[in-house]
Chain A
Amino acid sequence: MALFDVSGYKSHSELRGQILGTGVGHLIDRPNQQFSVPVGVDPSGFLKSCSREGGVSIDLNHGTTTLAFTFRHGVIVAVDSRASAGSYIASKEANKVIEINPYLLGTMSGSAADCQYWERLLGKECRLYKLRNKQRISVSAASKLLCNMMLGYRGMGLSMGSMIVGWDNKGPGLYYVDDNATRLSGRMFSTGCGSSYAYGVIDSGYREDMTVEEAYELGRRGITHATHRDAYSGGVVNLYHMQEDGWIKVCKEDVSELIHRYRKGMF
């Protein structure tokens, strides 16, 4: 294909022939990484077999609520902190926001391992971009890098729903990227199994001209109400505010305390 030739990308079969000879291995080419995988491996089938009831069960960490929205004074990012493995709470203070650089944040939902690995790799790529080009990477480009990493592993059982939040020359940026290489730019997203509850609260309470304090409260409320209803979300609310000169960590509050504070309006 035309683009294929121009990009300098070596064809999968060409490289395999040169390095390994025929019938030995299965090389997955990527510009950044090369993973040697034994012949006949099927990652998604393997994962399915591990989730069977009654036997050895590897339950991927899926339970989360994360949310982010833009408003007049920047972008608010709020996440919960419960890491669940099936019905077991593996950690009540997991860190679901990765601080890529002072101007870029990434949130994590889905499989904790996948999120941590790929977002840290994204961090490395952003740093390399800055070293090569002498300017910070844009939010759009960073999210596209992550999206293309996901594309390379299409159909292999990755599980990641992430929001890339930043402030660049074009202003505040918010992108949603997930494991099937969906990439959406928008003003409000929520991910994880508690996301529907969070959407309910933030959709009904959102105004573009909110004050900063009102926006913090909306982010807190979104996570708190989602953790109240969703069994797989909980712990503390980690709240970040992306401003023009970088992000700040606003607060870290326990949801059980927050929900008691809100009780008067609820029951």
Chain B
Amino acid sequence: MEYLIGIQGQDFVLVAADNIAANSIIQMKQDQDKMFKLSDKILLLCVGEAGDTVQFAEYIQKNIQLYKMRNGYELSPKAAANFTRKNLADYLRSRTPYHVNLLLAGFDETDGPGLYYMDHLSALAKAPFAAHGYGAYLTLSILDRYYRPDLTRDEAVDLLKKCIEELNKRFILNLPSFSVRLIDKEGIHDLEKLMPVGAK
């Protein structure tokens, strides 16, 4: 039902998430923000079981901030991703596993941009592009076909638009709007919300 997508360029990462918070067949909220700011240059996108998503993401967010307070410097995106994965893994075989799917996007001074894919079984993979949700079945092939490592910012946004138009055309559920953000060496930038034509 929910959809996340991330595209890494040469010196930026572009991420987008849908804005619907649903409960069985009802849309409870149409402007839900599924991106959590872990630090000035790291975003965590989180979808999955109701309740688990926000609770797990806020738990990671506060722990990352605590690390900065205690040690005086921030975790890198790679370290944050591995920390998140370890938490998922620890809870996986407990009585209360967190059923969440995540994308972690960040910009590191030394390593550059990074996009990390994590799922509810606590897999972790660094990838040039990734998506979560039923929408991924429709859009991963578009990313395979048109992605290039040297995409400019505008080209990446166009690629994202292509994916969202495909969802609007073929996906059975109506996803009327998507939050879009871009991370580069300057930090996190909010881009214009994408609202595919033909939807409300």
Q: Is the CB of A2 within 8 A of B28?
A: no
Interface hits, A114-168 → B, CB 8 Å: 150-151, 154-155
Q: Is the CB of B95 within 8 A of A184?
A: no
Chain A nearest CB: distance from B85 CB in Å? 14
Judge whether B199 is part of the interface by a CB distance below 8 angstroms: no
Judge whether B110 is part of the interface by a CB distance below 8 angstroms: no
Judge whether A80 is part of the interface by a CB distance below 8 angstroms: no
Asked, given contacts A2-B66, A3-B62, A181-B51, whether A199 binds B26 with beta carbons under 8 Å apart, the answer is yes
The distance in angstroms between the C-alpha atoms of A6 and B49, with both chains bound, is: 28
Interface hits, A184-216 → B, CB 8 Å: 184, 186, 189, 195-196, 199
Asked, given contacts A3-B66, A155-B96, whether A184 binds B29 with beta carbons under 8 Å apart, the answer is yes
Asked, given contacts A155-B95, A180-B50, A184-B21, whether A189 binds B28 with beta carbons under 8 Å apart, the answer is yes
Interface centre among A2, A6, A183, A196 (most CB of B within 10 A): A2
Q: Is the CB of B51 within 8 A of A176?
A: no
Asked, given contacts A3-B63, A6-B66, whether A196 binds B26 with beta carbons under 8 Å apart, the answer is yes
Chain B nearest CB: distance from A11 CB in Å? 13
Chain B nearest CB: distance from A155 CB in Å? 6
Asked, given contacts A155-B95, A176-B28, A184-B28, whether A2 binds B55 with beta carbons under 8 Å apart, the answer is no
Partner of B54, one of A155, A182, A189: A182
Interface centre among B55, B63, B87 (most CB of A within 10 A): B55
Judge whether B59 is part of the interface by a CB distance below 8 angstroms: yes
Asked, given contacts A154-B51, A182-B50, whether A2 binds B29 with beta carbons under 8 Å apart, the answer is no
Judge whether A39 is part of the interface by a CB distance below 8 angstroms: no
Chain A nearest CB: distance from B180 CB in Å? 21
Question: Chain A residues near B51 (CB, 8 Å)?
Answer: 150-151, 154, 178, 180-182
Q: Is the CB of A2 within 8 A of B50?
A: no
The distance in angstroms between the C-alpha atoms of A155 and B99, with both chains bound, is: 12
Q: Is the CB of B63 within 8 A of A2?
A: yes
Judge whether A1 is part of the interface by a CB distance below 8 angstroms: yes
Judge whether B152 is part of the interface by a CB distance below 8 angstroms: no
- Would you give the 0/1 interface string for B19-45, flagging 1 where the beta carbon is closer than 8 Å to chain A? 001010110110010000000000000
Measured CB to CB, the nearest residue on chain A to B30 is A186
Question: Chain A residues near B52 (CB, 8 Å)?
Answer: 180-181
Chain B nearest CB: distance from A136 CB in Å? 24
What total of chain B residues lie within 8 Å of the partner, measured CB to CB? 22
Judge whether B70 is part of the interface by a CB distance below 8 angstroms: yes
Asked, given contacts A1-B63, A3-B62, whether A154 binds B50 with beta carbons under 8 Å apart, the answer is no
Judge whether B137 is part of the interface by a CB distance below 8 angstroms: no
Chain B nearest CB: distance from A130 CB in Å? 25
Chain B nearest CB: distance from A22 CB in Å? 18
Q: Is the CB of A186 within 8 A of B28?
A: yes
Measured CB to CB, the nearest residue on chain A to B54 is A183
Q: Is the CB of A151 within 8 A of B55?
A: yes
The distance in angstroms between the C-alpha atoms of A155 and B54, with both chains bound, is: 16
The distance in angstroms between the C-alpha atoms of A34 and B196, with both chains bound, is: 51
The distance in angstroms between the C-alpha atoms of A150 and B96, with both chains bound, is: 13
Going nearest first, the 5 A-B pairs with the smallest beta carbon separation are A181-B51, A180-B51, A182-B50, A180-B50, A182-B51
On A, residues with C-beta under 8 Å from B are 1-3, 6, 150-151, 154-155, 176, 178, 180-184, 186, 189, 195-196, 199
Beyond the given pairs A184-B21, A196-B26, 8 more chain A to chain B contacts, judged by CB atoms under 8 angstroms and listed by A's residue number, are A3-B59, A154-B51, A176-B28, A181-B51, A182-B51, A184-B29, A184-B32, A186-B29
